[in-house]
Amino acid sequence: MALIKLTALSYDYPNTRGLDQLNLEINSGDFVCLMGPNGSGKSTLLRILSGLENASQGDYHFDGQAITADYLANPQDRQRLHQQIGLVFQNTDVQLFNTSVAEEVAFGPRQLGLSDAEVAQRVTDCLDLTHSSDLRERVPYQLSGGEKKRVALASVLALNPKVLLLDEPLNGLTIAAQQQMLTLLQALRAAGKTIVMASHNFKQVQAIEPRFVIFNVAHQIQADLSAAELAAQPEQQAELLTL
Partner 1 sequence: MHIPDNYLSPATCGTLVLAVAPVWTVAVIKVKAQVKAKRETLPMLGIAASLAFLIMMFNLPIPGGTTAHAVGGTLLAVLIGPWAAVLALTVTLLLQALLFGDGGILAFGANALNMAVIMPMVGYACYRLVQKWRHPKIGLFVGAYLGINVAALVAGIELGLQPLLAHTASGAPLYCPYGLNVTVPAMLAAHLLVAGWVEAIFTILVYQFVAKVAPTNLYTPTPTQSRRPWAYLLGGLVLLSPLGLLASNTAWGEWSPAELKQRLVAQHLSQQGPQGMVRGLHFKALFQDYTIGNLPISVGYILSAVTAVLIFLLLMRGLQHDTQTTK
Partner 2 sequence: MTLKQPNKLPDWLEQPNQLSSQRQRHNFLAHNQQHLQQLLARLSQPLPAVQSKKWQLSPAMSLVRLGILVLLIALTNNTGWLWLLGLLIAGHLLLLSPSQFRRFCRSWLMSTVIALLIVLPSYWLVGSATVLLFGFKTGLILASTQYYRLTTTFQALLSGLKALHCPNILIMTLAIAITYLRMLGHYLLQTMQALDMRLVAPAKHPYRLIGTLFGNLFLKSQAYALELYAAMEARGFNGHYVNQPTTTNRWHDVLTLTPYLVLVTLFIFGRYYGIN
Task: Give the residues lining the site for partner 1 (CB under 8 A).
Answer: 99, 139, 141-142
Distance between CA atoms of 10 and 219, rounded to whole angstroms?
9
Nearer to ligand ATP by Cβ, of 90 and 95: the residue is 90
Contacts of 1 (CB under 8 A, 6+ apart): 64
Backbone torsions φ then ψ of 66, nearest 5 degrees: -70, 125
Question: Rule CB under 5 A: is residue 43 a binding residue for Mg ion?
Answer: yes
- 43, interface contact from partner 2, partner 1, Mg ion, none, CB < 5-8 Å by kind: Mg ion
Question: Rule CB under 6 A: is residue 145 a binding residue for ligand ATP?
Answer: no
- 64, interface contact from Mg ion, ligand ATP, partner 2, none, CB < 5-8 Å by kind: none
Nearer to partner 1 by Cβ, of 78 and 189: the residue is 78
* Residue window 73-92: x/- pattern of binding to ligand ATP, with contact defined by CB under 6 A: -----------------x--
Distance between CA atoms of 26 and 3, rounded to whole angstroms?
6
Cβ pair 6, 23 in contact under 8 A: yes
Strand partners, 88: 166
Question: Rule CB under 8 A: is residue 95 a binding residue for partner 2?
Answer: yes
Strand partners, 62: 4, 65
Angle, CA of 171, 172 and 176, to the nearest 5°: 95
Q: How far is the CB of 100 from partner 1 (least distance, A)?
A: 9
Nearer to ligand ATP by Cβ, of 187 and 218: the residue is 218
